[in-house]
Amino acid sequence: MIAGYCWPHSGVAGDTIDLMISGDGGSCRVEVLRIGAAEQLVETRDLAVSEQSVPDDCATEGCGWTPSLSLRIDPAWQPGFYLVRLHGTDGEVAEAFFVVRAAEPGETLLVLSTSTWAAYNDWGGPSFYTGGHESSQHRPLPRGFLDKPDPHRYRVARFGQLPRPEVDEYFDKYSYWSAAAGWANWERLFVSWAERNGVALDYATSLDLHSRPGLLDGRRLYISVGHDEYWSAEMRDHVEGWVDSGGAAAFFSGNTSFWQVRFGGDDRVIGYKLDFDLDPVMGTDEQHTVSTMWSDPLTRRPENEMTGVSFTRGGYAHCRRAPKGSGGYTVWRPGHWAFDGLRLIAGDVVGGEPVVVGYECDGCELELVDGLPIAKPTGGTPPNFEVLGTAPAHLWETAEAPPGMPDSYIGELNWVTERLGGGDTPENRERFAHGAAVMGWFERGLGEVFTTGCTDWAYGLEHDDVATVTRNVIGRHIDLAARQSGSPQ
């Protein structure tokens, strides 16, 4: 067995990252690679290692392993995501990670969805999906979260097209939950595309966004990519306050900020989700911080106030018991600046061939005016939210659970109707069952927000239409922030 984790998960030049390793083979080869347009090997070490015990409560308290290696971040190392690949003597491989933050802020900041990775982490104990309510970040991540073969093939929106023996073989090697969370699914694809196309990125983690109030100072664009599901109030405070003061946010992500979490002692992630009545803050003055979905009336702060959209009005697409649609967005306002450079008319589709509308999607309540969908200002969606494109989506009922879900699973459709619809009844389920992925844009304060409303946008970046929209969004937002700050572009 070989396993490891790093702490802290981010640092700047001169900081030290500790690497904790447990191995029963006596030695281990450590490779540190920066992952961008390509893998860049920055350091290699051969270490003597020994097996370190896994506490029964490591899911909540962490492993508490002794550091096997301390890495000082070299000033020559570029900002980015660094994969630590561990090779055991028996050929077994494991991974850990850390992020190098920029010493001085650049224009564009990508915040990795590490709080979501923690929520799905079932290494050594339960995740939030298998009975856990707290997740320590001081433990390894399961195989497949940080590195996996051919993410385009092994993604939720494609598993249904693969032969069953191939799917079983894949999950024999990689965690079941690695299909739903992790760097290897989405952020890696985005970063690779960005570097090949000259888009310079700075990097940070969810914990950085939570604990560093000035993280966005001096930036022009904040970016979220992929599956960015778990957010603390502080994370939202920092993004929303920055946008209000003139920043620009681009959510190339879906299921975004669906659940509220808190960071507790030792930076553990706390989330009671459907068991919110067990959360210690219930019945106190801090009840609004309860770790249930952000759209729950208890929080008084639905997530679509920040993103424009919500999973409660979206759902699943292009996967089991969910609509396939075209795989892309039907465009309704082709004259919008996000589509500059594309020859589109209303009704054309963007992102259909690579299936960008897959897995989890966010939407809003819609109505037709003169044959075009517009957003109803309900549930927190801003009145000025402009619907650019839509695709069908569906919230699962409990009976529609995919294979591998625990017996305790309660479908999001049942939960949403209970908390937002006034009760889990067939009539209320019908109100929320037919959702939509919604691409849109709105101005907020002095800034503005763009959202794709889907987790899988990054899978389309090698296609001209998706890449063009992405370039337009990045360029527009950087230009907007530059104009408002009076700085040169």
pLDDT of the residue at 395? 97
Q: What is the extent of the structural domain holding 285?
A: 261-301
Whether residue 104 is found in the same domain as residue 29: yes
Tell me, yes or no, whether 369 lies in a domain.
Answer: no
Closest CA to 376 of 457, 330, 431: 431
pLDDT of the residue at 488? 42
Q: Which residues of 89-121 are buried (b: 16+ CB within 10 A; e: fewer)?
A: eeebebbbbbbbbbeebebbbbbbbbbbbbbbb
Convert the pLDDT of each residue in 433-485 to its tens digit: 999 999 999 999 999 999 999 999 999 999 999 999 999 999 986 654 455 55
Convert the pLDDT of each residue in 227-275 to its tens digit: 999 999 999 999 999 999 999 999 999 999 999 999 999 999 999 999 9
Split at pLDDT 50, 70, 90, the class of 73 is: very high
**For residue 165, what are its two tokens?**
């023996």
Tell me, yes or no, whether 429 lies in a domain.
Answer: no
pLDDT of the residue at 407? 83
Which of the listed residues 301, 325, 353 is the one where a domain comes to its end? 301
Whether residue 26 is found in the same domain as residue 108: yes
Domain count, the chain: 2
Whether residue 173 is found in the same domain as residue 276: no
Bigger pLDDT: 482 or 59? Answer: 59
Whether residue 289 is found in the same domain as residue 179: no
Whether residue 112 is found in the same domain as residue 44: yes
pTM (two decimals): 0.96
Which of the listed residues 212, 240, 271 is the one where a domain comes to its end? 212
In a 10 Å sphere around its CB, with 0-12 CB exposed, 13-18 middle and 19+ buried, how is residue 473 labelled? Answer: buried
Tell me, yes or no, whether 326 lies in a domain.
Answer: no
Whether residue 178 is found in the same domain as residue 274: no
Whether residue 203 is found in the same domain as residue 281: no
Whether residue 32 is found in the same domain as residue 171: yes
Tell me, yes or no, whether 161 lies in a domain.
Answer: yes
Distance CA 312, CA 195 (A): 34
Convert the pLDDT of each residue in 265-303 to its tens digit: 999 999 999 999 999 999 999 999 999 999 999 999 999
Q: Transcribe 415-434 into DSSP letters.
A: HHHHHHSSS--HHHHHHHHS
Whether residue 266 is found in the same domain as residue 208: no
Whether residue 184 is found in the same domain as residue 285: no
Tell me, yes or no, whether 121 lies in a domain.
Answer: yes
pLDDT of the residue at 487? 45
Kindly report the three-state secondary structure assignment for every residue of 282-335.
Answer: CCCCCHHHCCCECCCCCCCCCCHHHHCCEEEEEEEECCCCCCCCCCCEEECCCC
Q: What is the mean pLDDT of the chain?
A: 95
Is it the case that residue 113 has pLDDT exceeding 60?
A: yes
